[in-house]
């Protein structure tokens, strides 16, 4: 019988295969976490899918109850998987930033450094137009932000060495420029204006004639 979306998981049945964790006992780092039950895993997947869509459409400010409604589960089910909206947002944007890092690294390994750099710039512009949470995603603190900046640094240096990007631009300056590009595209009225904004930024990054 299919699971009813309006029936929350029983609060008295633990979602994990082992006994429920006690809040006052820290989890041992050397004990691997056991997998979720099938029904709990399905709910978690539905929550993550709904959160990705909701954060992309509305940014971080989307209410958690709205995410629960989109996922077809009760708010209590969301809280059992993610104790706070910050935790849910972190999981969503971590995957998003990791995808950007992988893309930047893959482009950096290609032969055409200029095309790799400006192709990634176009990817950032497309993400900005489609996902309102991109500014918060790339601003997430920690190693992910450092990895993204390092990948951008490689793209920039390769393009500069190839003569495709002006030599007087540093990676910190590029990051500031990209943040401005993202905000400008999200404020733009339509794809035509977004394309013009991207073209102006790209032209400014190319070496002067």
CA angle 175, 54, 201 (to 5 degrees): 25
Query: Residue 34's pLDDT is what?
Result: 53
CATH 1.10.10.60 residue ranges of the chain are: 38-83
38-83: CATH topology: Arc Repressor Mutant, subunit A (1.10.10)
CATH 1.10.357.10 residue ranges of the chain are: 90-205
Q: Is 92 buried (19+), middle (13-18) or exposed (0-12) by CB count in 10 A? A: buried
DSSP β-bridge partners for residue 16: 36
pLDDT at residue 16 tops 60: no
pLDDT tens digits for 116-135?
Answer: 999 999 999 999 998 888 98
| pTM check: above 0.85 | no
Q: Is 36 helix (H, G, I), strand (E, B) or coil?
A: strand
Rounded Cα gap, residues 148 and 183, in angstroms = 18
- For 79, 82, 158, 180, 203, the CA distances from 67, given in Å and listed in that order, are 11, 12, 41, 29, 40
Q: How confident is the model at residue 139 (pLDDT cuts 50, 70, 90)?
A: confident
90-205: CATH topology: Tetracycline Repressor; domain 2 (1.10.357)
- Residue 71's Cα: distance from chain center in Å? 19
pLDDT tens digits for 162-176?
Answer: 999 999 999 999 999
Calculate the average pLDDT of the chain: 83
Residue 113: how many other CB atoms lie within 10 Å: 22
Q: Residue 153 corresponds to which tokens in the numbers above?
A: 């640094």
Rounded Cα gap, residues 55 and 71, in angstroms = 13
């Amino acid at each position: 019988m299919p699971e009813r979306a309006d029936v929350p998981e029983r609060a008295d049945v633990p979602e994990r295969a082992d006994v429920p964790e006690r809040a006052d006992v820290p989890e041992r780092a050397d004990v691997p976490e056991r997998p979720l039950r099938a029904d709990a895993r399905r709910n978690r997947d539905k929550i993550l899918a709904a959160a990705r869509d909701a954060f992309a459409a509305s940014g971080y400010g989307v209410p958690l109850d709205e995410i629960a409604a989109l996922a077809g589960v009760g708010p209590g089910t969301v809280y059992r998987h993610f104790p706070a909206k910050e935790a849910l947002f972190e999981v969503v944007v971590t995957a998003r930033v990791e995808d950007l890092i992988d893309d930047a690294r893959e482009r950096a390994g290609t032969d055409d450094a200029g095309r790799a750099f400006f192709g990634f710039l176009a990817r950032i512009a497309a993400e900005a137009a489609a996902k309102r949470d991109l500014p918060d995603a790339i601003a997430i603190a920690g190693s992910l932000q450092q990895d993204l900046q390092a990948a951008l640094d490689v793209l920039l240096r390769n393009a500069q060495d190839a003569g495709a990007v002006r030599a007087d631009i540093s990676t910190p300056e590029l990051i500031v420029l990209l943040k401005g590009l993202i905000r400008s595209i999200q404020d733009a009225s339509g794809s035509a204006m977004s394309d013009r904004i991207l073209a102006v930024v790209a032209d400014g990054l190319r070496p002067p004639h």
